[in-house]
């Protein structure tokens, strides 16, 4: 069985990557997960929309990654009388990562997945009443409620010698909040359960009050360490509905910024991983390299993290020969130092003792639960949008994917090192072969009503932005961070490890709290 057997009327979503969408029946919605899974596809995201007054009611949407590209299916749902809420068939039975997405969809939109056992709220945290749904059209987002904190019913593990360790949501540092409940015997972890959602910012509601041509700025603030990827994905969605073809020079400059974002994050995490394994030298050296990298970003692009540098119609920066030479020289210097540090990491017995076999996610489990992105590639999930499809400039640059099978901290460290070297090569190639032309074309003529999508391989994994315009305003903008898929895998990675290894395993993934708490 394949998607063609669903008899959907697909419409192409214009853009540099192959994307198509269709409105489906309830039967087609139910059949799609098994069809996608059968041909090796994977879940990207699930979200709800309030289309009352336009298309007759609500809709639940799902995006799947297929060999043919992105497939976006929407199921219309009729409005029901309270307290009964619109419902749709559960897809978590085939794609477990959908479970938390469905719980968030219920919290925000009041759309209920049918016959699911886990009905606990995911994002609400008692911040608003159970019968209030922030993303419905009648709600402005300005409503205020008395906080009514609720006790979250964690799953209890019972047995001789089992006790619980509660960590967070407030941590002894500047990291973002998240609650981790460990069930342990001695120091061995039997089970970990996460409770996130403490960073909920109301971003998806704020999009409704944001001008479409300014939405890239808000998208770039979904997760600050992924600002380039989210900004690019939003602009891709806007440009796709406007029929805007950005220049070749702008495409290559966007890729330059994306690869610099990837390198910065890998440098920082490699230092933190060394520090978590008691190698303070690694933290000092990689922190120095990352700081040099970010300072050059600030000098050449006006922002350390390159926020708001990707704009509708292209980029808000450009390069001359002298600036390009500075970037190339920095790449050469950074690569030499990182190669030396890689040798030190690999030859350090104490470090390798902590890395090897720790926090392992087998390729089979990774495939079953949908591990994606950098962490997925360390567990033999060979998917990377830069190489999966023919799109520029990555096709011209002949970008190479790195993939390993061990799925432990050591494998995730190796993937980071190899991705740094490949990104440095790509950056040098972009500088050497940067096409001529304008870096920005005006994007003024937007359709009053339209639908678009953007799909970009960020440093953690693929970032998705779907955009719906109504009467010239944003009706719905959904931003998806790959951390949604990977947080549940962290729970499995920690099992049968010791409690002191949790910070090391956690950092080897370095997932976003903020990116999945919109």
Residue ranges per structural domain of the chain: 3-114, 162-195, 246-442
Per-block mean pLDDT, blocks of 10 residues, the chain (518 long)? 70 92 96 95 97 84 96 93 90 97 96 94 90 93 84 91 92 84 96 92 95 97 96 97 93 98 98 96 98 98 97 96 97 98 97 97 97 98 95 95 96 98 98 96 88 97 96 95 97 96 96 89
CATH T-level assignment (fold) for domain 3-114: Beta Polymerase; domain 2 (3.30.460)
pLDDT in tens, 99-121: 999 999 999 999 999 999 999 99
Query: Hey, which residues does 49 pair with through a beta bridge?
Result: 59
Q: Could you tell me if 509 and 358 are in contact, meaning their C-beta atoms sit under 8 angstroms apart? A: no
Sign of CA dihedral 215, 174, 108, 367: positive
Q: Could you tell me if 310 and 235 are in contact, meaning their C-beta atoms sit under 8 angstroms apart? A: yes
In angstroms, the CA 24 to CA 27 distance is 8
Picking from 71, 105, 100, 72, the residue whose alpha carbon sits closest to that of residue 88 is: 105
Its pTM stands at 0.96
Residue 13 CB burial class (10 angstroms; 0-12, 13-18, ≥19):
buried
Helix (H, G, I), strand (E, B) or coil at 375: helix
In angstroms, the CA 11 to CA 41 distance is 19
In angstroms, the CA 125 to CA 292 distance is 40
Hey, do 3-114 and 246-442 end up sharing a CATH topology, with the first three levels equal? no
Instruction: Give residue 5's pLDDT.
Output: 62
Structure tokens at 447: 């359709």
CA distances from 34 to 30, 66, 95 (A): 8, 13, 9
Instruction: Give residue 6's pLDDT.
Output: 67
In angstroms, the CA 78 to CA 100 distance is 23
Domain 246-442 sits in CATH at: 1.10.645.10
- Write down the residue that tokens 């300072």 correspond to: 295
Q: Could you tell me if 132 and 157 are in contact, meaning their C-beta atoms sit under 8 angstroms apart? A: no
């Amino acid at each position: 069985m394949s998607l063609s057997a669903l008899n959907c009327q697909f419409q192409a979503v214009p853009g540099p990557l192959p994307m198509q969408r269709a409105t489906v029946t309830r039967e087609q919605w139910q059949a799609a997960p098994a069809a996608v899974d059968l041909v090796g596809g994977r879940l990207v995201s699930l979200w709800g929309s309030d289309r009352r007054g336009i298309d007759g009611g609500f809709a639940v949407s799902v995006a799947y990654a297929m060999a043919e590209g992105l497939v976006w299916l929407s199921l219309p749902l009729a409005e029901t009388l309270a307290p009964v809420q619109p419902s749709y068939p559960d897809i978590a039975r085939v794609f477990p990562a959908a479970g938390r997405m469905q719980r968030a969809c219920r919290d925000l939109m009041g759309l209920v997945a049918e016959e699911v056992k886990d009905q606990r709220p995911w994002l609400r945290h008692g911040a608003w009443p159970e019968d209030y749904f922030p993303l419905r059209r009648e709600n402005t987002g300005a409503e205020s409620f008395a906080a009514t904190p609720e006790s979250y019913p964690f799953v209890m593990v019972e047995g001789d010698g089992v006790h619980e360790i509660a960590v967070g949501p407030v941590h002894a540092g500047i990291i973002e909040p998240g609650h981790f409940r460990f069930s342990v015997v001695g120091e061995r972890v039997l089970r970990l359960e996460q409770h996130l959602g403490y960073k909920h910012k109301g971003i998806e509601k704020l999009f409704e009050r944001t001008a479409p041509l300014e939405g890239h700025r808000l998208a770039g603030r979904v997760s600050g360490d992924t600002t380039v990827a989210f900004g690019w994905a939003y602009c891709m969605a806007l440009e796709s509905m406007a029929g805007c073809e950005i220049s070749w020079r702008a495409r290559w400059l966007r890729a330059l910024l994306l690869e610099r974002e990837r390198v910065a994050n890998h440098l920082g995490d490699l230092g933190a991983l060394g520090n978590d394994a008691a190698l303070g030298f690694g933290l000092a050296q990689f922190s120095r390299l990352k700081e040099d990298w970010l300072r050059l970003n600030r000098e050449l692009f006006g922002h350390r993290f390159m926020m708001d540098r990707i704009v509708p119609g292209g980029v808000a920066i450009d390069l001359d020969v002298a600036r390009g030479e500075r970037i190339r020289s920095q790449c050469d210097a950074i690569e030499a130092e990182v190669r030396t540090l890689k040798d030190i990491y690999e030859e350090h017995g104490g470090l390798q003792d902590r890395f090897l076999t720790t926090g392992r996610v087998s390729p089979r489990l990774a495939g079953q639960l949908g591990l994606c992105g950098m962490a997925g590639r360390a567990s033999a999930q060979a998917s990377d949008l830069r190489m999966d499809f023919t799109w520029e400039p990555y096709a011209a640059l002949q970008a190479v994917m790195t993939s390993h099978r061990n799925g432990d901290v050591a494998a995730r460290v190796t993937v980071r090192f190899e991705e740094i070297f490949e990104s440095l090569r790509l950056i040098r190639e972009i500088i050497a072969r940067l096409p001529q032309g304008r870096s920005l074309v005006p994007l003024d003529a937007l359709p009053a009503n339209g639908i678009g999508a953007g799909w970009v391989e960020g440093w953690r994994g693929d970032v998705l932005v779907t955009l719906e315009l109504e009467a010239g305003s944003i009706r719905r903008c959904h931003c998806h961070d790959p951390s949604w898929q990977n947080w549940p895998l962290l729970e499995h990675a920690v099992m049968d490890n010791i409690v002191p290894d949790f910070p090391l395993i956690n950092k080897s993934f370095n997932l976003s709290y903020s990116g999945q708490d919109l």
